Every structure is written in structure tokens, then in C-alpha cells.
Chains A and B, each alone.
Chain A
Amino acid sequence: MIFKPHHAAFTVNNIKESVEWYKKYLGFKVTHEYSKHGGGRAIIERGDVRIELFDFGEATKPLPDYRRDLMEDLHVVGIKHLCIQVEDLDKMIQSLIKKGLTDIREVDTAGFGGRYTFIKDCSGILVELYEPERLPGKIEQI
């Protein structure tokens, strides 16, 4: 059985606020938006990446404190984060700074090659941005 990544699901503080945030900073498009049980739902997409957003209106519970810090969160058993591959991480970061995003983790090198950073969305959810290693010179397809 072969799996394809279909989506990642995030519960957010407020759907409308999050849809605007993902449109503004990451250029996602909304493909579905509706209400259910007094809360909001939206599907946002860009390239191969699809995120399902939920809010539960007044019943939405706050982001646990441990999830605000990358290292603290990683120690806790459970689902941690979504990593989006981008073509040019430096260009991406420059664009985020220009748009006013300030909470951007210092770029680090991944143990398996490539470079990554983490940003926080408007609900405080950590999202990883990753650029694979760019090899010098030309790559010949064999």
C-alpha cells in the first residue's frame, strides 16, 4: 500500500484570522470554507501542501504552553509539526520579514542535508520550512 501525503490538520484560534494569515504570509489559497457545530472549517492549499483548519468557536481550547517552544514540544510524545519544502529558504525568509513576520527561528542545517527554520502562525503553531541541499555545479541526469 502506497501513501501520499493528503493533508495536515491544525486547530486554530480563529478560522478567519488564520485563513488571512496563511494567505498573507505563505500564499495559500482557500479551497473550502464552511461552518460546523458553531465552529469554522477551512481547507487551504499551495502546491502539494494542503492544510485543514478547524476552530470550535468559544469551545476552542488554548494552545498548551509546551507547544510554544520547539525543543520543549519535541520532548512530549505526540504529533509535532508539518514541514513544508520550499525552493529557496533565504528568499522565503526575506519575503516573510518584508511582510512583517518577526518570530523566525535562526536557520540551521539538517542532519540529513539541507537547511531549515521554524515560524509560528497566528495561533502560535510551529511550522517548519525546509530547503533541500543544493549541490554545486550541474547535475547530469543518467
Chain B
Amino acid sequence: MKYSFHHGTLSVRDLLRSVAFYEQLNFRTVLNWEADDGSLQITHLKNGPFILELFCYAASVEPPDSIHSIITDLPVIGTKHLALEVDDINVARDDFIKKGIIADEIQITQGRTGISYFFIPDPDGILIEIVEDKREV
């Protein structure tokens, strides 16, 4: 049976703020849903084949501080991050610096499995990995 990547889900504090952020990354909204009582809003954003699902609860709960740094987040069991692939990581880094999403000291790391990467924080401090993968595997 064929598997494919359908979506990754994030829970955010402020839906409009998050949608504006991901629109800066060329995502576009393809679906909005709101509970009748306003307790929950769900938005699907798409960029290429990638669907990002945003949940926004009126009564959202604060996460532990550890999620905001890769050093403190990674040792904790659970889903950690989503990695998005770009054609040219230098172009992506320059674009994010120009848009004020990352500081210009953010460096690209050459990973052990042959990919290069860096992380960007979204408005809630959720880390998204940006990768370039030129391996022919």
C-alpha cells in the first residue's frame, strides 16, 4: 500500500497571526472551519504538495518552555518538528533574513546524513526545519 505525507498539525495561539506568518512563506489558505460555539478554528494552508493544519482553540493551553529551543526540546519524547525541503537553502535563508523571520547570524548546518538545514521559529516559537537535500537516494 502506498503511503504519502498528507499533513502536519500545529496548535497555535492566534490564528490570524500564524496565517499571516505562513503566508510570508508562500502558503495559501485552502480551508477554514470554525466550531459553532467558536471554541475551535481549523485552517489548512498549502504550499506545493505540503498541507499545514493549524488548530486554534479559544482555550489554548501553554506549552512547556522547553519547546522553544531545539536543545531542550529534542531530548523529550514526542513529535518534534516538521522539515520542509527547498531547492536552494541559501536562497531560502536570504529570503527569511530579508523578511525578518530569522537573524542573519543563523547558520546553515551540514547534517550527518548529507542534508543541509537550519531552523526557523514561527510566531508561537514552534520550530520548523528548512532543508536542502541533493542526495540521489
Contact = CB atoms under 8 A, between A and B. Distances in A.
Given A49-B5, A75-B61, A34 B10 contact: no
A134 interface: no
Interface in A68-90: 74-88
Interface string A116-139: 000000011110101000000000
Contact-residue bracket for chain A? 35 or more
Contact-residue bracket for chain B? 35 or more
A8 B76 contact: no
A100 interface: no
Given A1-B95, A49-B4, A11 B76 contact: yes
Nearest to B12: A77
A23 interface: no
Contact of B59 (A11, A75, A87, A126): A75
A43 interface: yes
A29 to B, nearest CB: 11
Among B33, B112, B113, the one with the most A-chain Cβ atoms within 10 Å of its Cβ is B113
A98 interface: no
Given A10-B79, A86-B3, A112-B44, A78 B50 contact: no
Interface of B: 1-13, 25-26, 31, 33, 42, 44, 47-50, 53, 55, 57, 59-64, 67, 74-87, 91-92, 95, 112-113, 115, 124, 126-127, 129, 131, 133, 137
28 contacts: A1-B95, A2-B26, A2-B86, A4-B48, A4-B84, A6-B84, A6-B115, A6-B133, A8-B80, A9-B74, A13-B77, A46-B3, A47-B2, A47-B4, A62-B77, A76-B11, A76-B60, A76-B62, A77-B12, A79-B80, A80-B11, A81-B79, A83-B6, A85-B3, A86-B1, A88-B1, A111-B33, A128-B6
Interface of A: 1-13, 26, 31-32, 34, 36, 41, 43, 46-49, 52, 54, 56, 59-64, 66-67, 74-88, 91-92, 111-112, 123-126, 128, 130
